[in-house]
C-alpha cells in the first residue's frame, strides 16, 4: 500500500509543466433539431403551441418508459419551437449528461454524452443571454459530473473559459498534460477510482486528515481488516473515519503518484471553473439566492486549494478575483434576501455565510458579517 501524500505536497511535486492541448471536436452527427430546421417545423405558425404541448407530453411519456433517446429527440424539437425557454435546455443537458451517458458500459461513450450535456448548456447560454438559471445549471453540472468525468468536463470548460482566464488556463493545461501522460495501467486505475469513489469535494481534505495521523493509526485505517473489528476496538479512530471514508482513503492510497498528481490539479481546476461559470449570474436579473450562495461557496473552496506553486503575482491575481467575487456576492445576497424574505431572511443569509467562512477569514472576515448583522437588525 502506497503512502498517502497531502494535497499541497502533491501539487508542489507536479505543477512544473504547462502545455497547450487541442480541445476535442464535437460530434457533428445530425440530430432532431437539425432535421427540424431543414423540414420546416419552425414555420408552424399558430399551431406551434399545440405542437410544443404534444412534444412535452411525448417527452414525459418517453421518460417514464425509460426511452432516453426519444426524450432527447423530443427536447431537441422543443428547443427549436421554444428557443427562449431555459428549462428545455436544462432538461436536455440533464438527459444527455446523466441518463443517456449511463446507457453505455464504455467510459469513452459515457464521456461523449457528458460532454454533449455541457455543450448544450453553453449553447443555451449563448442563445438566452442573461438567464441566471443556466449559469446555476452549469455550476451544478461541473460539481457533479467532475466527480466521475473530470477530464471530459474540464476539456469543455477550458475551451469555454481558457482564453480570458490565462492563469487558470495554464494550470488546466498542466492537468490535461498530466492526464495525457498516464500509462495504460494508471488510466485503468484512475477509471476504476472514478467509477468506485469519484473526485469528491472533500476527498483531499480527508486525505490530509489521515496524513496528519500518527503513522500507526494511519496504518490501521489503511488495513481492510480494520473494518471487521468490533466498534469498541475501532475506538475513536473508527468514529472519526466512517467505513466509506476508509474505503475512499484505501482506494486513493492505491493510486500511483502520477494519478494522484492529476487528480489534485484537476480538483482545483474544477473548483475555479465553478467560480467562472456562476459569477456572471450575479449581474443577471431576476435570480434566486442560490446564485449568491453558489458563488460564495465556490470561491471559499477554490481559495483553500489554490496551487501553492503559483508565482506570487499569479496567486495574488487569483486571490483578488475571489475576494472581489465574494464581496459582490455577499452584498448582492443581502439585497436579494431582503427582497425575498425581509430582515429575517437577510439575517439568516449573513449567519450562514459567517459560519461557512469562519475558516476563511481572508475572504469574509467575521467583523464584516457582524457589522452586516448589526445594520440589518438596526
Residue-wise pLDDT tens digits, 31-83: 444 434 333 444 444 455 667 788 888 888 888 888 888 888 888 888 888 88
Confidence at 28, pLDDT banded by 50, 70, 90: very low
Per-residue pLDDT, 71: 82
What is the per-residue pLDDT for 332? Answer: 97
At residue 4, the pLDDT reads 54
Contact 307, 268 (CB under 8 A): yes
Mean pLDDT of 335-354: 96
269 or 7: which leads in pLDDT: 269
Give the pLDDT band of residue 172 (cuts 50, 70, 90). very high
pTM above 0.75, yes or no: yes
Q: How far is CA 366 from CA 172, 210, 309, 354, in A?
A: 33, 29, 29, 6
276-286 per-position pLDDT tens digit: 999 999 999 99
Q: Which of 76-85, 179-188, 252-261 has the lowest mean pLDDT?
A: 76-85
The pLDDT value recorded for residue 8 is: 55
Amino acid at each position: 500500500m502506497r503512502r498517502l501524500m497531502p494535497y499541497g505536497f502533491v501539487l508542489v511535486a507536479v505543477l512544473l509543466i504547462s502545455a497547450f492541448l487541442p480541445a476535442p471536436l464535437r460530434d457533428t452527427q445530425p440530430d432532431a433539431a437539425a432535421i427540424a430546421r431543414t423540414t420546416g417545423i419552425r414555420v408552424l405558425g399558430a399551431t406551434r403551441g399545440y405542437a410544443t404541448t404534444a412534444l412535452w407530453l411525448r417527452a414525459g411519456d418517453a421518460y417514464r418508459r425509460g426511452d432516453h433517446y426519444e426524450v432527447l429527440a423530443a427536447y431537441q424539437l422543443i428547443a427549436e419551437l421554444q428557443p427562449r425557454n431555459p428549462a428545455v435546455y436544462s432538461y436536455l443537458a440533464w438527459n444527455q449528461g446523466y441518463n443517456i451517458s449511463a446507457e453505455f458500459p464504455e467510459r469513452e461513450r459515457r464521456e461523449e454524452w457528458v460532454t454533449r450535456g455541457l455543450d448544450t448548456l453553453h449553447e443555451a447560454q449563448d442563445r438566452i443571454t442573461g438567464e441566471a438559471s443556466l449559469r446555476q445549471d452549469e455550476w451544478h453540472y461541473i460539481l457533479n459530473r467532475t466527480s466521475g468525468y473530470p477530464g471530459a468536463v474540464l476539456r469543455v470548460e477550458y475551451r469555454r473559459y481558457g482564453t480570458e482566464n490565462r492563469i487558470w488556463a495554464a494550470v488546466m493545461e498542466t492537468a490535461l498534460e498530466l492526464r495525457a501522460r498516464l500509462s495504460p495501467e494508471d488510466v485503468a486505475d484512475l477509471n476504476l477510482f472514478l467509477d468506485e469513489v469519484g473526485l469528491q469535494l472533500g476527498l483531499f481534505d480527508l486525505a490530509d486528515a489521515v496524513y496528519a495521523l500518527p503513522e500507526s493509526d494511519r496504518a490501521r485505517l489503511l488495513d481492510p481488516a480494520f473494518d471487521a473489528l468490533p466498534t469498541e476496538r475501532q475506538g475513536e479512530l473508527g468514529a472519526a473515519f466512517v467505513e466509506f471514508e476508509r474505503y475512499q482513503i484505501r482506494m486513493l492510497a492505491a493510486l500511483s503518484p502520477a494519478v494522484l498528481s492529476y487528480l489534485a490539479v484537476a480538483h482545483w481546476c474544477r473548483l475555479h471553473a465553478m467560480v467562472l461559470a456562476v459569477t456572471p449570474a450575479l449581474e443577471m436579473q431576476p435570480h434566486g439566492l442560490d446564485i449568491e450562495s453558489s458563488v460564495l461557496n465556490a470561491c471559499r473552496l477554490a481559495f483553500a486549494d489554490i496551487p501553492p506553486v503559483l508565482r506570487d503575482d499569479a496567486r495574488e491575481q487569483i486571490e483578488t478575483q475571489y475576494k472581489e467575487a465574494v464581496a459582490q456576492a455577499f452584498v448582492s445576497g443581502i439585497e436579494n434576501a431582503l427582497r425575498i424574505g425581509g430582515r429575517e431572511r437577510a439575517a439568516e443569509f449573513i449567519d450562514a455565510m459567517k459560519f461557512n467562512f469562519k475558516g476563511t477569514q481572508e475572504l469574509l472576515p467575521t467583523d464584516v458579517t457582524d457589522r452586516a448583522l448589526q445594520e440589518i437588525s438596526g
